[in-house]
């Protein structure tokens, strides 16, 4: 189940940021390789869970970061995709991993301010 953030609809959720619509897409074990590992350009993966309030709080921040840095944004439900979480060492959520060329490049853990997340993910100027 996709989470619903303010100003969005359930399912693939577009978010308007500076005139650019960002689509947050849910991926699972069978779609992760195609959407993330073989995806073109950098992909920001958000490991989250429905019960995780910090996950819901950081979602709009991640959408803004994705829009401003031209990143594809996907979400992985931590409770439903334990194998993916284990594969990438995700032990706590929210947990965001930036992939480039199919490889993890940077990781940020916890709901943090936008500027802190950008620095942790190597996106700060």
Q: What are phi and psi of 29, to 5 degrees?
A: -55, -35
55 is a catalytic site residue: yes
Buried b (16+ CB within 10 A) or exposed e, 93-125: bbbbbbbeeeeeebbbeebbebeebbebbebee
72 is a catalytic site residue: no
Q: Which among 45, 55, 61, 96 is annotated as catalytic?
A: 55
Residues 6+ apart with CB under 8 A from 90: 47, 78, 84, 97
Q: Which among 36, 52, 62, 97 is annotated as catalytic?
A: 52
Residues marked active site are found at 52, 55
């Amino acid at each position: 189940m996709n989470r619903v953030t303010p100003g969005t609809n359930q399912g693939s959720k577009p978010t308007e940021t500076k005139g650019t619509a960002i689509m947050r897409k849910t991926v699972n074990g069978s779609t992760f390789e195609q959407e993330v590992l073989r995806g073109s350009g950098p992909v920001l993966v958000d490991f989250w869970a429905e019960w995780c309030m910090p996950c819901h709080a950081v979602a709009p921040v991640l959408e803004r970061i994705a829009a401003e840095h031209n990143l594809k944004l996907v979400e992985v439900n931590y409770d439903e995709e334990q194998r993916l979480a284990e594969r990438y060492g995700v032990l706590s959520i929210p947990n965001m991993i930036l992939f480039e060329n199919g490889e993890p490049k940077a990781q940020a853990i916890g709901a943090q301010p936008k500027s802190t997340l950008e620095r942790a993910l190597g996106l700060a100027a």
